[in-house]
Amino acid sequence: MKGKVKLLDATPHINVKIITVLGAIAVAVLFFFGLIFAIAAAYNPLRLLTSAVLLITGIVIAYYITRKPKTVIHQLELSGQMKAAALKCPNCSASVDATQIKIVQGVPYATCAYCGNTFEITEEPKW
């Protein structure tokens, strides 16, 4: 047989962070006790304040565990034809692989595999 066959796993993987599970348990407990204290506030009005604190804490934790990470999308529009230039280390003039480029705070840096030099990638003027 020439091609490789990849078998799909029969059981789906559930990827849940432990913080999310513990947060959900904490929210359930806080809401439960918040409601109990709200019901008991008929006998002691101070319990209403405790109920409010528990419910607000539960809402804050629920917001924290359900918030989505922000996604930033960069779009680049080019005005003309672009051609890739060879990337060379300024220290030893060795060719640098494009996979060694890392973006640090919006600035592209490359690391030379031969001498270990890390340098900023800059575009040279065409004129």
Section 90-105 average pLDDT: 83
pLDDT at residue 1, rounded to an integer: 44
* pLDDT of 6 higher than 60: no
pLDDT at residue 36, rounded to an integer: 93
Contact call for residues 116 and 91 (beta carbons, < 8 A) = no
SS3 sequence of the chain: CCCCCCCCCCCCCCCCCHHHHHHHHHHHHHHHHHHHHHHHCCCCCHHHHHHHHHHHHHHHHHHHHHCCCCCCCCCCCCCCCCCCCCCECCCCCCECCHHHEEEECCEEEEECCCCCCEEECCCCCCC
Comparing CA positions, the residue from 125, 116, 108 lying closest to residue 91 is: 116
- pLDDT, tens only, 52-88: 999 999 999 999 888 877 777 777 776 767 676 778 8
Q: How confident is the model at residue 15 (pLDDT cuts 50, 70, 90)?
A: low
pLDDT at residue 74, rounded to an integer: 74
Read off the pTM.
0.45
